[in-house]
């Protein structure tokens, strides 16, 4: 039997609650429960992946456009898998480096974060998407300031304020959407937005841009990226590694709304999303690469690498063709693991001392992946994107290629600073290399099995561009 | 009545934006509260303004108002309440540790410390 779609939300929520009740003072038990929950999520995702997609469920059995719907298609399962795999690796690293001892409740907050992420990917209802955004944000507020300290708290306050303004915009956008269409179910919206009278086109365009701005804040698209470098650099390294997937929530939401609710074929919005996302993506990539060059300290370089990866991703997604979306999804998976590995190595290089040989080797491999050099998956991802955006080649190619060079220079400089000139480590502490090695193995696997992975992602992208199955599955819940 | 509601939403939003941009924690928290009030009234209006009509089934009612925005506003109020509480605690923490209530960009010193 295939598990219910709601289980990836309930499992971490229940784990967090049980942790708080029975394992408050027992860190080992919390670690075991956290890892068990993350492993359970991996198993659930595998179950979903072999089942027939898309699937939908009506929560509380309320009929479709009125009740809350959970729906899963290829994109949902891909994102759930990304979160579950990253969660396992990050929890292994936390176990090794003991960052969870810095303050109370790291593991419950981590589980609530997973619950929010899974919920955001599973929901088929725009307002529930807002609610799960808030769940994942409130957990992330706790994680950002985990361990305390004035600098972390200051960065945390700026992060919270930015996201609260974002949430306000989200609600205004949803209010306009509801006022114009009378529904918030995404599959139902897809039909209603296509049928809007010409008089409402201006209103729905305003709502579309407001929602895009919210997702751009989450994804850290320039000029709404300003919250990211300070927050990620100040957050504990393991938390920052998990946050590598947080910017992807914004990308996911843009894909979902851009394909289902405001697809390029709809008269009211047309190519609005594509027109805005291409320049924003190019600018983000440039700012990210220049930021990497100008940043001091490995955490900050990794934070700007996250921004640059968002830029590259949105250059691909703004193509709005099945080929470009498939290339974007490949790069999305690659960049999540590559940036997470960079954050974990920042932590390791601080703990193990900068002259540690294994750390230097891992850093070199990760830098190759992040900058997009052969032979790792970053190169394939960028190649696929360049190929898919042949239509906009005069702007896309020079920017992507030049920024790759800038990123190489930035990472080489960082490497020579860290491994050739460095002094003694701040706090020498044992920490194993397991987690970054695992992440790099995933990248190697993505490179070796690029063919089958590409075919699977082509299928996901094709389903996104022609969401009739998704809509029919949700509407069958009447 | 539409004009009155629209003017109130506009006024609350303007006050909220202005206070949020002052980049001091107390002003920002009050500003964000104003913004969330504005959003709540706006969400309420998104179901059309229908004074004096019940949102639930009642045999004696002449008509109904849309109950969904009321449910949305309730959710939004609860969430913004929780978020404000978190923000107040964090802002207090910063103020007690650093003596500064600025929510603006980090001073250059902060970046040097990270090195």
User: Residues of A234-246 as b/e, b for ≥16 C-beta within 10 angstroms?
Assistant: bbbbbbbbbbbbb
- A223 contact B CB<8A: no
Q: Which of A233, A232, A238, A228 is nearest to A351 (CA)?
A: A238
**Total residues belonging to chain A:** 478
List the single residue in B with minimal CA-CA distance to A297. B115
Q: Is there a domain that residue A166 lies in?
A: yes
Domain that holds residue A134: 7-475
Among the partner-chain residues A138, A178, A233, the one whose CB lies closest to the CB of B46 is: A178
Q: Which of residues 89-148 of A touch B (CB under 8 A)?
A: 127, 131, 134, 138, 141, 145, 148
pLDDT of residue A10: 95
Residues in A touching B76 (Cβ below 8 Å): 171
Asked if residue B5 lies in contact with residue B63, where contact means CB atoms within 8 angstroms, the answer is no
Q: Tell which of B24, B73, B77, B94 to mutate to test the A interface (max A CBs under 10 Å).
A: B94
Among the partner-chain residues B36, B110, B113, the one whose CB lies closest to the CB of A168 is: B36
Q: Is there a domain that residue A2 lies in?
A: no
Q: Tell which of B67, B86, B105 to mutate to test the A interface (max A CBs under 10 Å).
A: B86
**Interchain proximity A160–B43, CB inside 8 Å:** no
Alpha helices, H only, A51-123: 74-97, 106-122
pLDDT of residue B105: 64
CA geometry: angle at A20 spanning A16 and A25, to 5°? 125
pLDDT of residue A425: 54
Residues in B touching A171 (Cβ below 8 Å): 39, 42-43, 76
Q: Does residue B111 surpass a pLDDT of 80?
A: no
Number of domains in chain A: 1
In angstroms, what CA-CA distances link A447 with A363, A373, A443, B32, B65? 18, 12, 6, 46, 57
Q: Is there a domain that residue A28 lies in?
A: yes
**Interchain proximity A171–B43, CB inside 8 Å:** yes
**Interchain proximity A161–B46, CB inside 8 Å:** no
**Interchain proximity A161–B28, CB inside 8 Å:** yes
**Interchain proximity A167–B98, CB inside 8 Å:** no
- A224 contact B CB<8A: no
Residues belonging to chain B with any Cβ–Cβ distance to chain A shorter than 8 Å: 20, 25, 28, 32, 35-36, 39, 42-43, 45-48, 68-69, 72, 75-76, 79-80, 82-83, 86-87, 90-91, 93-94, 97-98, 103, 105-106, 110-111, 113-115
Q: How far apart are CA A469 and CA A461, in angstroms?
A: 13
* Residue B115 banded pLDDT, cuts 50, 70, 90: very low
pLDDT of residue A354: 58
> Residue range B68-97: average pLDDT?
90
Q: Is there a domain that residue A256 lies in?
A: yes
Among the partner-chain residues B28, B98, B103, the one whose CB lies closest to the CB of A150 is: B98
Q: φ, ψ for residue A12 (rounded to 5)?
A: -65, -35
List the single residue in B with minimal CA-CA distance to A295. B111
pLDDT of residue B109: 46
Across the A:B interface, residue pairs with CB atoms under 8 Å apart total: 105
Q: Which value does ipTM take for this structure?
A: 0.89
Q: How far apart are CA A376 and CA A334, in angstroms?
A: 9
Among the partner-chain residues B76, B82, B111, the one whose CB lies closest to the CB of A171 is: B76
Q: Is there a domain that residue A437 lies in?
A: yes
Among the partner-chain residues B46, B86, B98, the one whose CB lies closest to the CB of A138 is: B86
Residues in B touching A223 (Cβ below 8 Å): none
**Interchain proximity A179–B45, CB inside 8 Å:** yes
Better-scored residue on pLDDT, B106 or A72:
A72
Asked if residue A476 lies in contact with residue A189, where contact means CB atoms within 8 angstroms, the answer is no
Q: How many CB atoms lie within 10 A of CB A72?
A: 25
> How confident is the prediction along chain A (478 residues), in pLDDT tens digits per residue?
788 899 999 999 999 999 999 988 888 999 999 999 999 999 999 999 988 888 898 888 888 788 899 999 999 999 999 999 999 999 999 988 888 888 788 999 999 999 999 999 999 999 999 999 999 999 999 999 888 788 888 888 889 999 999 999 999 999 999 999 988 999 999 888 888 888 888 899 999 999 999 999 999 998 888 889 888 988 888 899 999 999 999 999 999 999 999 888 888 888 888 889 999 999 999 999 999 999 888 889 999 999 999 999 999 999 889 999 999 999 999 999 999 999 998 888 877 765 667 888 888 999 999 998 888 898 999 999 999 998 888 889 999 999 999 999 999 998 888 877 756 555 556 668 888 889 999 999 999 999 999 999 999 999 999 888 899 998 888 7
Q: Tell which of A130, A139, A159, A160 to mutate to test the B interface (max B CBs under 10 Å).
A: A160
Q: Is there a domain that residue A127 lies in?
A: yes
Asked if residue A140 lies in contact with residue A246, where contact means CB atoms within 8 angstroms, the answer is yes
Residues in A touching B14 (Cβ below 8 Å): none
**Interchain proximity A178–B35, CB inside 8 Å:** no
Q: How far apart are CA A371 and CA A377, in angstroms?
A: 10
Among the partner-chain residues A151, A158, A171, the one whose CB lies closest to the CB of B113 is: A151
pLDDT of residue A173: 94
**Interchain proximity B87–A297, CB inside 8 Å:** no
Per-chain mean pLDDT for chain B: 85
Q: Tell which of A161, A223, A422 to mutate to test the B interface (max B CBs under 10 Å).
A: A161
pLDDT of residue A355: 65
pLDDT of residue A146: 87
3-class DSSP assignment, residue A354: coil
Lowest mean pLDDT among A53-57, A444-448, B7-11, B32-36: A53-57
Lowest mean pLDDT among A116-120, A444-448, B54-58, B109-113: B109-113
**Interchain proximity A174–B72, CB inside 8 Å:** yes
Take residue A466 and report the two structure tokens written for it. Answer: 């022609």
- A152 contact B CB<8A: no
Secondary structure of A235-258 in HEC code, one letter for each residue: CCHHHHHHHCCHHHHHHHHHHHHH
Shortest distance, CA A126 to any CA of chain B (angstroms): 11
Q: Is there a domain that residue A199 lies in?
A: yes
Q: Is there a domain that residue A1 lies in?
A: no
Shortest distance, CA B113 to any CA of chain A (angstroms): 9
Residues in B touching A296 (Cβ below 8 Å): 111, 114-115
pLDDT of residue A26: 87
Q: Tell which of B25, B76, B115 to mutate to test the A interface (max A CBs under 10 Å).
A: B76
């Amino acid at each position: 039997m295939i598990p219910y779609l709601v289980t990836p939300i309930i499992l971490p929520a229940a784990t967090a609650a049980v942790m708080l009740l029975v394992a408050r003072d027992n860190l080992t038990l919390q670690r075991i429960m956290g890892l068990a929950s993350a492993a359970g999520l991996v198993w659930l995702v595998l179950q979903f992946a072999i089942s027939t997609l898309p699937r939908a469920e009506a929560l509380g059995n309320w009929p479709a456009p009125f009740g809350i719907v959970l729906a899963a298609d290829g994109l949902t399962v891909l994102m759930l898998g990304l979160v579950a795999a990253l969660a396992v690796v990050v929890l292994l690293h936390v176990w090794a480096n003991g960052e969870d001892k810095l303050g109370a409740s790291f593991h419950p907050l981590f589980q609530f974060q997973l619950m929010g992420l899974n919920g955001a990917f599973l929901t088929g209802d725009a307002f529930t998407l807002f609610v799960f955004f808030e769940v994942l944000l409130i957990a992330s507020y706790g994680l950002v300031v985990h361990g305390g300290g004035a600098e972390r708290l200051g960065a945390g306050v700026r992060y919270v304020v930015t996201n609260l303004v974002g949430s306000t915009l989200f609600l205004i956008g949803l209010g306009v959407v509801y006022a114009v269409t009378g529904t918030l179910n995404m599959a139902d919206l897809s039909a209603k937005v296509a049928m809007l009278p010409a008089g409402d086109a201006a209103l729905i365009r305003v709502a579309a841009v407001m929602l895009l701005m919210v997702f751009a804040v989450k994804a850290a698209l320039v000029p709404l990226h300003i919250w990211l470098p300070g927050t990620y650099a100040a957050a504990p390294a393991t938390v920052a590694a998990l946050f590598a997937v947080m910017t992807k929530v914004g990308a996911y939401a843009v894909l979902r709304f851009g394909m289902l609710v405001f697809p390029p074929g709809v008269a009211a919005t047309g190519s609005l999303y594509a027109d805005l996302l291409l320049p924003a993506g190019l600018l983000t990539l440039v700012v990210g690469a220049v930021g990497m060059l100008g940043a001091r300290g490995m955490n900050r370089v990794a934070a700007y690498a996250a921004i640059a990866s968002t830029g590259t991703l949105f250059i691909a997604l703004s193509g709005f063709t099945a080929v470009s979306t498939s290339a974007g999804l490949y790069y999305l998976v690659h960049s999540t693991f590559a940036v997470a590995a960079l954050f974990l190595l920042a932590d390791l290089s601080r703990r193990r001392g900068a002259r540690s040989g294994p750390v230097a080797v891992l850093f070199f491999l990760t830098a190759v992946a992040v900058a997009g050099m052969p032979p790792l998956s970053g190169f394939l991802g960028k190649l696929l994107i360049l190929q898919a955006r042949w239509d906009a080649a005069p702007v896309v190619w020079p920017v992507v290629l030049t920024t790759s060079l800038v990123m190489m220079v930035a990472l080489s400089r960082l490497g020579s600073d860290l491994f050739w000139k460095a002094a003694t480590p701040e706090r020498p502490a044992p920490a194993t290399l397991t987690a970054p090695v695992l992440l790099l193995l995933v990248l190697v696997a993505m490179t070796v099995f690029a063919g089958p992975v590409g075919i699977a992602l082509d299928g996901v992208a094709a389903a996104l561009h022609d969401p009739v199955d998704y809509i029919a599955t949700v509407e069958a819940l009447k | 009545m539409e004009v009155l509601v629209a003017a109130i939403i506009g006024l609350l939003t303007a006050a909220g934006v202005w206070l949020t941009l002052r980049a001091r924690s107390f002003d920002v928290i009050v500003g964000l509260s104003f913004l969330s009030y504005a959003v709540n009234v706006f969400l309420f209006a998104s179901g059309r303004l229908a004074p004096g009509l019940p949102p639930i089934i009642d045999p004696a009612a002449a008509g109904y108002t849309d109950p969904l925005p009321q449910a949305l506003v309730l959710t939004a109020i609860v969430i913004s309440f929780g978020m404000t509480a978190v923000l107040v605690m964090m802002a207090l923490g910063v103020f007690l540790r650093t003596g500064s209530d600025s929510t603006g960009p980090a001073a250059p010193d902060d970046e040097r410390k990270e090195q």
